[in-house]
Structure 1
Amino acid sequence: MNKIISNYIQAHKQEILDQWIDRTKEEADDRVIRLVSDRVFQSTSKEFIDLIISNFKGTSEEYNERLTDFAEKVVRLGWPLTFVTKGLHTFNLIVFEGMQKEGVVTQENQMEIVYEFDRWATPMNNEIVSVYSSTWERTVSLQKIALQELSAPLIPVFEGITVMPLVGTIDTERAKQIMENLLKGAVKHRSEVVLIDITGVPVVDTMVAHHIIQAADAVRLIGAKCMLVGIRPEIAQTIVNLGIDLNQFTTKNNLKKGIEAALELTNKKIVSLEGAK
């Protein structure tokens, strides 16, 4: 960066930071401000300004490492990419206006300084966008894997009896995950009866029912019985209205009754011990 610009930034660092925070707060989306406390906003803003300055102060390797760390931080905070790119534009504007007021920018050197700003800011902006985007994609990918692992667990409750509680909307991608977890889990736990609990599924339409029926058929092919539990009155009415045929496997209106039926199917029962409290 032009020596005139870098010297001005170094001499007015705190003033630039204060102006940047004030302007950013005025122009930022409300959700950016609400997401973090004022202290975190202040510290992150300072880190961003330090990062910008380090672009011409330190080594390329050191700068890239700091940029990656900062991108990961703002992704965790939930700040959008536009907030970061606008922040760089605001920084340049504050510096340029300040240099104009102090007479550092003159008619003679104005075009040269504008060119230097653009030559410095454009690669940095591109680098910020690239690192932020890759960090966001990596974060989303990890979250997706974690959600998939949690979205369709198969839980052993008694020997030979397992339960898969389903919560939320079931789409095609999630249905594949359910099928995979169901088959792997049934084999792993040596399940004789598998209960699919749809208490937490808000809507059961033709597609959802089709996926559940497919899962039940797959479980039967590996030698286990499948039972559908958690059928609320409104879900039962929807199933009837849609003409969905669930006759091929047992249904119960709640998990308790489903477990009782599963115990009978596996020749087990729960008994109370005499004298037990």
Structure 2
Amino acid sequence: MASSVISLISTRRAEIIERWKESIQKVSGTTDQANGRAIETTNEKLVELIFDYLSDNQSQDRLNNLMGRILQLGWPLSYLTSGVQLFRRVVGTLIIESNEEKGIILDYFQAMDDLLDPIFNNLIEDATSTWENTVSIQKRALLELSAPLIPVMEHIAVMPLIGTIDTERAKLIMENLLEGVITHRAEVVLIDITGVPVVDTMVAHHIIQAAEAVRLVGSECILVGIRPEIAQTIVNLGIELKDFPTRSTLQKGIERALEMTNRKIVCTQEGGNV
């Protein structure tokens, strides 16, 4: 039956193309002449690719080649899926017009679905895979940028945290923290949570784990950016930070870090500090 559908499509190729282009033109709805011509050219390419696939052996290699040629053109997924669905609808209309027996029509429709479904399904799968890969790369890049360890002076570094901390991000924070401590030979690390909107038990647990890991490699951590509401939350949750020095601001944290590294800020002239 598939061969009969292909024969029908081949025999009435010109009519199918014309009907399909009229249908997809209605969907695009453009009235601009230049854009209209560009869309018409695009339509011609897409329908020709579909015909090329259907006119030969519909093997997986042929399908992969078709998908590669379609995706290389960079058309939106919504346009491609609409185009394939409209092609299905046009051919279905011709099948109904060309046959009166219900059983034969149903067989034709099933055969047509068998021919076109692989195209439609692969479009979705390839586009989804590309989207997921892009999102994964972008997410990884954002995560790496969101937990930097910044050396501010000799043996002192700061890690400013901004946004929500989940398990995946906590793991990256730990990795960056330990690598940065070794790379910058930091004796004291200030973890600044000023930009963290919520500090709950899980977030506190991750921060404590990070501090303990830093201590194991010979450095100390100071938690800075303790806002009043965060302090209240920590107390209400019963989170123990007695072994973890804390300061309300980054400035006070740096002053404490200098003390821990046997340095201090002194006034060298009136109105000036170093």
Question: Do residues 16 (structure 1) and 14 (structure 2) align?
Answer: no
The answer (yes or no) to whether the contact 2:19–2:90 under 8 Å persists in 1 is no
Match of 1:94 in 2: 90
Match of 2:67 among 30, 55, 64: 64
Match of 1:214 in 2: 209
Superposed CA deviations along residues 140-188 of structure 1, whole A, max 9, x for unmatched, are: 3323332332232212222222111112221222222211111111111
Distance change >3 Å, CA 8–CA 258, structure 1 → 2: farther
Give runs of aligned pairs for residues 35-184 of structure 1, distance below 5 A: 46=43, 49=47, 51-56=49-54, 60=62, 62-69=65-72, 73=74, 88-97=84-93, 99=94, 103=97, 105-107=98-100, 110=105, 113-184=108-179
Distance change >3 Å, CA 249–CA 119, structure 1 → 2: closer
Structure 1 stretch displaced more, 106-115 or 116-125: 106-115
Match of 2:231 among 223, 236, 240: 236
The answer (yes or no) to whether the contact 2:224–2:249 under 8 Å persists in 1 is yes
Give the alignment's Cα RMSD to 1 decimal: 3.8
1:232 offset after TM fit, Å?
A: 1.4
Q: Which has the larger radius of gyration?
A: 2
Question: Do residues 252 (structure 1) and 247 (structure 2) align?
Answer: yes
Instruction: Give distance in 2, aligned partners of 1:230 and 1:45.
Output: 56
1:22 offset after TM fit, Å?
A: 4.0
Distance change >3 Å, CA 196–CA 52, structure 1 → 2: farther
Secondary structure of the residue aligned to 2:211 is: helix
Tell me how many residue pairs correspond in the alignment: 252
TM-score by length of 1: 0.73
Superposed CA deviations along residues 16-73 of structure 1, whole A, max 9, x for unmatched, are: 2452364589xxxxxxxxxxxx99xx69984765654453368826413224436xx5
Instruction: Give distance in 2, aligned partners of 1:227 and 1:263.
Output: 12
Secondary structure of the residue aligned to 2:151 is: strand
Question: Do residues 188 (structure 1) and 188 (structure 2) align?
Answer: no
The answer (yes or no) to whether the contact 2:164–2:196 under 8 Å persists in 1 is yes
The answer (yes or no) to whether the contact 2:23–2:86 under 8 Å persists in 1 is no
TM-score by length of 2: 0.73
The answer (yes or no) to whether the contact 2:95–2:105 under 8 Å persists in 1 is no
Residue 17 of structure 2 aligns to which amino acid in structure 1?
A: K
Match of 1:32 in 2: none
Secondary structure of the residue aligned to 2:54 is: coil
